[in-house]
A = this chain, B = another copy of it.
Amino acid sequence: MASVVRLYVEHPLGAGQTVPLERAQAHYLFNVMRLGEGAELRLFNGRDGEWAARVTGAAKRGGTLQCTGQTAQQRDPPDLWLLFAPIKKARTDFIVEKAAELGAARILPVQTDHTNAERLRRDRLQAHAMEAAEQCGGTFVPEVADLAPLSQILRGWPEGRRLLVCDEARAGEGERLDAFLGRRAVEAPGPWAVLVGPEGGFSEAERARLAGLPFAVTVSLGPRILRADTAAVAALTLWQIALGDWR
């Protein structure tokens, strides 16, 4: 991993640009990471690529940085959403972190018939996605949406976006993995979403609903039952291999 500190900021970045720091950022840079005036770091804001910057002012409650030069072009992931049913806190955090690393553009926690979570700290998950991008050299931070019922999201489904449903209970019923991978040779990348079920699986009503969606494809992720967090990582990997930017 890079030993240079990487920081996500909301401010525009560009040659010579001054970037003011918020209190939490100043605390992180000056107290946690022990940077002082003149120290170098890397900045990204999800739009302008990565920039080298220098600390030009360090105070207790704020500070300023100045961009010195661009170090990487902006790189956006494919137009892939991840829909997942939240599980235990640590595993939900994990899913968000992995989705950011694996190149999901948007993360949508969904409430299914067998989902226990009724509330979710969206801001906390968004911070996780940001940290994952900081750690992994990314220049893009996926947006984490508010928790919403799956049925509501499906009702308002955007035209042209396809949906890969990963459902282990349907092993052998859905599209074969072979057929799904075969798409890589013939299909242009387009807007997609991956949906991973909750620990208890989808309800029968949900299965029937999903099976009837013209934009949905169901595949099974191997012969073993995967935990929801494992399934999320495996499904994102499968999609990236078949239709994403791993091609």
Contact = CB atoms under 8 A, between A and B. Distances in A.
Contacts of A208: none
A224 B102 contact: yes
A240 interface: yes
Interface band, chain A: 35 or more
Interface string A155-189: 00000000000000000000001100100000000
A206 interface: no
Given A1-B200, A98-B230, A177 B222 contact: no
B240 A241 contact: no
Contacts of A245: 222-223
Contacts of A244: 222
Contact of A224 (B101, B178, B199): B101
Contact of A240 (B77, B222, B225): B222
A109 interface: no
A226 interface: yes
Contact of A225 (B137, B221, B227): B137
Interface in A200-247: 200, 221-227, 230, 233-234, 237-238, 240-241, 244-247
Contacts of A98: 230, 233
Interface string A3-37: 00000000000000000000000000000000000
A1 B234 CA distance: 18
A63 interface: no
A103 interface: yes
A75 B225 CA distance: 12
The 5 closest A-B pairs by CB, nearest first: A222-B246, A237-B237, A234-B237, A233-B233, A137-B225
Given A138-B225, A181-B241, A234-B237, 15 more contacts: A1-B200, A94-B94, A98-B230, A98-B233, A101-B226, A101-B230, A102-B234, A103-B223, A136-B226, A177-B241, A181-B181, A221-B246, A233-B233, A233-B237, A237-B238
Interface of A: 1, 75, 77, 94, 98, 101-103, 135-138, 177-178, 181, 199-200, 221-227, 230, 233-234, 237-238, 240-241, 244-247
